[in-house]
């Protein structure tokens, strides 16, 4: 009597992570992609299989980021020079990328600048700088990409706002004003865009450890506050890589707002539940921060 050899067991099925698969083979533009949050978003997108264009006013930084990220990622990464204050340049980039890749699946309007300090010491030039980049830059991206996504019947616009767009932020008043505007733009467009098969998300991180913190009011006259604005931040600073992972998971889930990390979510919840208490605490924080700035 002979026995048949036992057949080899089939290999285990590959576990598919839907939060990662969402980006595989998709095309994305990330503005402000040369450093900080934008660079981290680009790296995480490429790690999830996306074709990524890192667009930045600093082409050398974007090219260096693409050269480092691309070879170690299943996706592909290229660099492009872009000043988001130039509406025509933004439209040209969106059209070029969408034409080269047949479609544009994601636009991350991420480019931003930090402007803050004692508001009494800030000039109109400070306000113009932050509005031009942080708000008009987003508007230019939406104006360029949204009509194309409507024609496609799909697409996802992700606008980088901030916890400062949801929460009182003394000594960051111009910055907070633009980020509140970005949140309002995003959630209002989201309701309209859903009628056309297009998704919109606002990313609202707490304080993230990026080079932006060392360039507050850069190139502008008057105060140049640095990281002292963020001393004793509860929970410390969030890393760009951790934010990128949380952000893309939230985008994959089609969240309206992605607020991270947990300390930022708790602060936001506290403000919604007890705004008077939080505003009183913000006033105490303002006194401390203004004292620190004036002492420096």
pLDDT digits (tens, 9 = 90+) for 95-127: 999 999 999 999 999 999 988 888 998 999 999
Within-domain flag for 15: no
Of 278, 166, 285, give the one whose Cα is nearest residue 231: 285
* pLDDT reading at 210 higher than 90: no
pLDDT digits (tens, 9 = 90+) for 82-103: 999 999 999 999 999 999 999 9
User: What is the reported pLDDT for 288?
Assistant: 86
pLDDT digits (tens, 9 = 90+) for 45-61: 999 999 999 999 999 99
Cβ atoms of 254 and 157 closer than 8 Å: no
The helix/strand/coil state of 27 is strand
User: What is the reported pLDDT for 43?
Assistant: 98
Within-domain flag for 4: no
* pLDDT reading at 219 higher than 70: no
Within-domain flag for 7: no
Of 61, 66, 60, give the one whose Cα is nearest residue 29: 66
Residue 127, domain extent: 21-295
Non-local CB neighbours of 39 within 8 Å, separated by 6+ positions: 33, 54, 65, 69, 240
User: What is the reported pLDDT for 10?
Assistant: 59
Sheet (strand 156-160) strand order:
76-81, 51-56, 27-31, 106-109, 156-160, 199-205, 257-260
Q: Which residues pair with 106 in a beta bridge?
A: 28, 156
Within-domain flag for 3: no
Question: Is residue 261 very low, low, confident or very high in pLDDT (cuts 50, 70, 90)?
Answer: very high
Within-domain flag for 72: yes
Calculate the CA dihedral of residues 27, 140, 207, 251 and round it to 10 degrees.
-40
Report the CATH number at residue 235: 3.40.50.720
The helix/strand/coil state of 256 is coil
Within-domain flag for 14: no
User: What is the reported pLDDT for 227?
Assistant: 52
Rounded CA-CA distance 264/259 in Å is: 6
Most confident of 14-18, 62-66, 111-115: 62-66
Cβ atoms of 201 and 257 closer than 8 Å: yes
* pLDDT reading at 280 higher than 90: yes
| CA atoms lying within 13 Å on the CB side of residue 148 | 23
Within-domain flag for 90: yes
Does 175 qualify as catalytic in the annotation? Answer: yes
Within-domain flag for 157: yes
Number of domains making up the chain: 1
Catalytic residue among 106, 146, 175, 271: 175
């Amino acid at each position: 009597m002979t026995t048949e050899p036992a057949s080899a067991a089939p290999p285990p099925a590959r576990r598919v992570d839907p939060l990662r698969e969402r980006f595989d083979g998709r095309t994305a533009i990330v503005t402000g992609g040369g450093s900080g949050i934008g660079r981290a978003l680009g790296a995480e997108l490429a790690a999830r299989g996306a074709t990524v264009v890192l667009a930045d006013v600093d082409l050398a930084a974007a090219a260096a980021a693409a050269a480092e990220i691309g070879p170690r990622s299943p996706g592909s990464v290229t660099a492009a020079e872009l000043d988001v204050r130039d509406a025509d340049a933004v439209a040209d980039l969106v059209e070029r990328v969408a034409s080269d890749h047949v479609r544009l699946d994601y636009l991350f309007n991420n480019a931003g600048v930090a402007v803050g300090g004692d508001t009494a010491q800030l000039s109109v030039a400070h306000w113009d700088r932050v509005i031009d980049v942080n708000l008009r830059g987003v508007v230019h991206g939406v104006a360029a990409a949204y009509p194309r996504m409507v024609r496609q019947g799909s697409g996802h616009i992700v606008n980088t706002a901030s916890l400062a767009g949801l929460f009182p932020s003394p000594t960051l008043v111009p910055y907070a004003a633009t980020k509140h505007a970005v949140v309002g733009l995003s959630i209002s467009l989201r309701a309209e865009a859903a009628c056309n098969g297009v998704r919109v998300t606002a990313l609202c991180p707490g304080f993230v450890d990026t080079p932006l913190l060392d360039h507050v009011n850069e190139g502008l006259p008057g105060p140049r506050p640095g990281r002292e604005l963020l001393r004793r931040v509860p929970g410390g600073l969030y890393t760009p890589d951790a934010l990128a992972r949380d952000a893309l998971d939230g985008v994959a889930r089609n969240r309206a707002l992605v607020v991270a990390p947990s300390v930022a979510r708790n602060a936001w919840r506290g403000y919604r539940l007890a705004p008077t208490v939080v505003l009183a605490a913000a006033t105490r924080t303002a006194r401390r921060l203004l004292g620190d700035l004036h002492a420096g």
